[in-house]
Amino acid sequence: MTKQKTAKEQTTPNPIDSLPPQEESELHDTPFLVVGIGASAGGLAAFEAFFSGVPSDGNPDMAFVLVQHLAPEHTSILSEIIRKYTTMDVFEVSDGIRVQRNCVYVIPPAYDMAYLNGTLQLLEPAAEHGKRLAIDFFFQTLAQDQQERSIGIILSGTGSDGTLGIQAIKDAGGIVLAQAPESTEYNGMPNSAIATDLVDYILPPEAMVQQLITLSSNIDGGEDSLIAASKNMMDKIFVLLRTKSGHDFSQYKPNTIFRRIERRMAIRQIESISEYVKFLQQIPEELEELFHDLLIGVTNFFRDPEAFLSLKEKFIPTLFTLKPQGSVIRVWTTGCSTGEEAYSIAILLREYMEKQKLNYSVQLFATDIDSHAIAHARDGFYPLTIASTVSPQRLERFFTLEADGSGYRIHKNIRDMLIFSEQNIIKDPPFSKIDLISCRNLMIYFGATLQKRLIPLFHYALNPGGILFLGSSESIGEFNDLFSVEDSKSKIFKRKETLYDTTKTIGRIVPKTTSIRSPSVQNNTKTNASPKLPLREITEQALLKQLNLTAALINAQGDILYLHGRTGTYLELPSGEMGVNNILKMAKDTLRRELTMALQKAITTKEIVRRAWVQIQQNDIIKNVNLTVRAVSSAAAVTIDSPLYLVTFEESPLGIKGTLSTETETKESDPLGHIAALQQELQIQEEFLQASNDKLEATIEALQASNEEMQSLNEELQSTNEELETSKEELQSMNEELSTVNAELQTKVTDLSHANNDMNNLLSGTGIGTVFVDINLNILRYTRDVTRTINLIKSDIGRPIGHIVSNLVGYDHLVSDIHNVLDTLSPKEIEVQTVEGLWFTMRIQPYRTLNNVIEGAVISFVDITETVHIREALHKANELLHGHTNDAQ
């Protein structure tokens, strides 16, 4: 259908310019789908077919953005062509144009295009034409901006542009379509997209619009939205998933689950979540599809290059220095998906061992709950697009290009380092005695409760000094007592040693072990005499009994590591669930404030802090307690990384009968004492406030430094991203050129095969035995008929012809005759006889190329046995005739 437009209409920059401010605001606020369409060679016909499927009313209630590979030096008429097939407004994009529904936007030549806050931004391309991946770039920005409302379509084209872009759209919760390969002029781009297994619909272009309209109505329609869905319905879906797959998704982040379920509902054209629950119950295959949608893992080799570089240079060497030669390095990669990051770590380990010439065994356990992803990882086959993240040197050393050029396969020496296994990190027992754990971009999908269970689990699984490698958006949270920060930018942490059992916080994930003595051991313990104590220990025990001190060993957070003496007077167990006991929570009310301030001051000043005459009440007796907090020397705490503090309680010998007075009673009975107490409390508060201010200033300075580092890191990452895009575009251009050359070579190979077949049949049909030799008289090839004169077999190819035994009688100067022909360039013809009595005409002539270059000689043998016999018979007949003539005379 066509629509006639005036010149004024065609040059209108954007339909929103004519709207009143109120309508413009409403139009901006109303969400709609944005469809990015990428095409290359053959894309024009695909565009025409696509827009021919738009309904006659021309209002599909979404926007379309066309990205095609255009020649930068030519003016594009794609906009005019598209107008012939749709009644929607069609615009060639101008910089900053706002995208509106029921409009089509076409990329102009010589620009890259990005989607930002509902507008299209044009950028000068950094790479030359033929090396840019404009579709990938636009799809990635579209996914970042529109999230689940982004749709990517791949139409006809060569190469693989768009493949990385659809991965970003899928990761954001969007939908991907690809043109059916049989309907394309060039199927390179659709096939590359389909090979990722991320495409939701594979359709001819004319059927895509109707499918998009159906998806749009299901995404936008219905009052029973997922966000407002009852928790009961969501729980039902979790139960069905757990029954089907054995995995519990109830502790994942709700937004992630909502997006994936909403997407599946749109694909299945179901409007309410209650209907979708019934559909899941009736169609088990949909449960499988939903399960795999929830597990979509977008990963690649050496993701976050700076982090992998830090791991390679700073931490992998320490894994080997902590262990002797010949021992085993154990690595665990959780949520490995299709294996790219697991193989990346294996490559780093292999590179270091080869560089340092070390002899270690590596066991790399890569686990995931997705059986399909594990099967893909085990296969070790990856598409050509990995060249954008793997350096050419590593591709050559650790990958093999398949014979058909379809992709790369990991080398066996790397594959043998890995053990892939299905494992649910939430419920299955973890691996143990691990040196390095990589858990990257997995916990971002988990809720806070689940994240708190995993960090202690990793601490349990690691060896002392083991390394934890997290994703760029992940952290250890509140578990600073379990891990120390080694590289904040790269999110690399080191395991700390603790004096209390971390399995208390892990729960049922880590099996606990209990040491039980056997009866014989217990009996021996009872009967054996106690060993004599050293004099120093006897003296120390006597002093401790005399002093009658009560003490607690704590860390900087107040967690109790050891108690000495009767502490019930000063500490009491809090109500609620018990975990690690904290002295600040257990201290009695009148003691808690003094203890908190004393501990804070001891941490800040590194000095011994004393608080005298702190009153506490026990039953009806008021007791005065002297409180002391001091840091424990590092020599005494060699088994733990964090600083420790000793809190001592010393009770005054005098007690007062009664109860602690309230503030009003104290003020009335002893105003001067009350003023002194207030002044003392004010002084304590000022000291605490000063310490807090100092700590706050130090924190602000650290944050400012971290902010500067983050800004620098952001600039470096942007630079690295540009370099990677440039390298990827160069490889894409080279790949297209190689594809063209390969097609030409395939044609030449076919022609050559035909010519070779014709030549073989020609030589066989003539019955002429032929031998081809090079300039050094080495045999190049021969025909079957020549074996009657020279004893040749296939293994003789490449040997000098002079080494071959011939069947010729009275002829032994073949080599000299060939040299003579090559020297004079004059053919030579000789009649020779075989031991079987057969006669041949042997011709030796130079082998000339099409460029008239002599590259050897051709020796041919023509069977003339019958001719010789006829000649001999004629000769005998002539002799008889001459004899009769002479007799007659």
User: DSSP code of 223?
Assistant: S
**Residue 608 main-chain phi, psi, to 5 deg:** -75, 130
* pLDDT at residue 105 in the model: 93
Report the range of poorest mean pLDDT among 52-56, 332-336, 459-463, 842-846: 52-56
More confident residue, 238 or 858: 858
Q: How many CB atoms are located within 10 Å of the residue 664 CB? A: 9
Contact 323, 289 (CB under 8 A): no
- pLDDT > 70? residue 20: no
More confident residue, 579 or 804: 804
**Residue 348 main-chain phi, psi, to 5 deg:** -60, -45
Comparing CA positions, the residue from 137, 197, 143 lying closest to residue 171 is 143
Token pair recorded at residue 376: 């893909």
* pLDDT at residue 432 in the model: 84
Comparing CA positions, the residue from 6, 481, 437, 427 lying closest to residue 249 is 427
* pLDDT at residue 545 in the model: 65
Contact 64, 33 (CB under 8 A): no
* pLDDT at residue 725 in the model: 75
Token pair recorded at residue 780: 């190049």
What whole-number distance in Å separates Cα of residue 258 and Cα of residue 267?
14
- pLDDT > 60? residue 230: no
Question: What is the DSSP annotation of 679-702?
Answer: HHHHHHHHHHHHHHHHHHHHHHHH
What whole-number distance in Å separates Cα of residue 268 and Cα of residue 286?
9
More confident residue, 242 or 203: 203
* Helical ranges in 152-223 per DSSP H: 163-171, 188-195, 208-220
User: DSSP code of 128?
Assistant: P
- pLDDT > 90? residue 349: yes
More confident residue, 725 or 49: 49
What whole-number distance in Å separates Cα of residue 137 and Cα of residue 192?
16
Confidence of residue 674 (pLDDT cuts 50, 70, 90): low
What whole-number distance in Å separates Cα of residue 11 and Cα of residue 21?
22
Contact 439, 345 (CB under 8 A): no
* pLDDT at residue 818 in the model: 92
H-helix or E-strand spanning residue 378: helix 371-379
**Interior angle at CA 766, CA 762 and CA 770, nearest 5:** 85
Q: Which residues sit opposite 754 in a β-bridge?
A: none
For all residues of the chain together, what is the average pLDDT?
Answer: 78
* pLDDT at residue 520 in the model: 37
* pLDDT at residue 23 in the model: 41
pLDDT tens for residues 523-534? 443 444 444 556
Per DSSP, the three-state class of 842 is strand
Comparing CA positions, the residue from 143, 148, 154, 157 lying closest to residue 193 is 154
Q: Which residues sit opposite 150 in a β-bridge?
A: 34
What whole-number distance in Å separates Cα of residue 870 and Cα of residue 877?
10
Token pair recorded at residue 787: 């074996």
* pLDDT at residue 26 in the model: 40
* pLDDT at residue 688 in the model: 67
Q: How many angstroms separate the Cα of 186 from the Cα of each of 85, 180, 194? A: 22, 11, 14
What whole-number distance in Å separates Cα of residue 434 and Cα of residue 322?
13
Strands 644-657 and 550-555: antiparallel
Contacts of 755 (CB under 8 A, 6+ apart): none
Q: How many CB atoms are located within 10 Å of the residue 639 CB? A: 9
Q: What is the rounded average pLDDT of the residues 319-337? A: 88
Tokens 């002797």, residue? 324
Contact 176, 58 (CB under 8 A): no
Report the range of poorest mean pLDDT among 92-96, 436-440, 491-495, 730-734: 730-734
* pLDDT at residue 29 in the model: 52
Strands (E), 548-669: 550-555, 560-564, 609-618, 621-631, 644-657
Q: At what angle do helices 43-52 and 208-220 cross, to 10 degrees?
A: 60
- Rounded to the nearest 5 percent, the helix, strand and coil shares of the chain are 45, 20, 30
Contact 618, 477 (CB under 8 A): no
**Residue 338 main-chain phi, psi, to 5 deg:** -90, 10
- pLDDT > 70? residue 768: yes
* Helical ranges in 670-801 per DSSP H: 671-766
What whole-number distance in Å separates Cα of residue 458 and Cα of residue 481?
13
More confident residue, 513 or 107: 107
Token pair recorded at residue 393: 């040197």
- pLDDT > 80? residue 499: no
Most distant CA pair in the chain: distance in Å? Answer: 183
Strands 399-401 and 407-410: antiparallel
- pLDDT > 50? residue 889: yes
Q: What is the rounded average pLDDT of the residues 107-115? A: 86
Confidence of residue 872 (pLDDT cuts 50, 70, 90): confident
Per DSSP, the three-state class of 716 is helix
* pLDDT at residue 528 in the model: 42
**Long-range contacts, 475-483 (Cβ 8 Å, 24+):** 477/451, 477/452, 478/452, 479/452, 479/455, 480/557, 481/555, 481/557, 481/559, 481/642, 482/455, 482/456, 483/455, 483/459
* pLDDT at residue 220 in the model: 52
* pLDDT at residue 619 in the model: 67
H-helix or E-strand spanning residue 329: strand 328-333
- pLDDT > 70? residue 637: no
In what side-by-side order are the strands of the sheet with 112-116? 97-98, 119-123, 112-116
Contact 759, 751 (CB under 8 A): no
pLDDT tens for residues 817-834? 999 999 998 999 999 988
More confident residue, 675 or 103: 103
* pLDDT at residue 6 in the model: 35
- pLDDT > 60? residue 4: no
More confident residue, 685 or 625: 625
User: Most confidently modeled of 420-429, 550-559, 838-847?
Assistant: 838-847
Q: 330-342 burial string, b = 16+ CB within 10 Å, else e? A: bbbbbbbbbbbbb
**Residue 287 main-chain phi, psi, to 5 deg:** -60, -40
Contact 446, 250 (CB under 8 A): no
Sign of the four-CA dihedral 820, 821, 827, 829: positive
* Helical ranges in 30-133 per DSSP H: 43-52, 78-83
Q: What is the rounded average pLDDT of the residues 46-66? A: 83
Per DSSP, the three-state class of 590 is helix
* pLDDT at residue 533 in the model: 55
What whole-number distance in Å separates Cα of residue 146 and Cα of residue 118?
8
* pLDDT at residue 59 in the model: 76
- pLDDT > 60? residue 582: yes
Token pair recorded at residue 577: 């669930």
Q: What is the rounded average pLDDT of the residues 125-133? A: 61
Report the range of poorest mean pLDDT among 171-180, 482-491, 502-511, 635-644: 502-511
Confidence of residue 346 (pLDDT cuts 50, 70, 90): very high
* pLDDT at residue 638 in the model: 46
**pTM, 2 dp:** 0.49
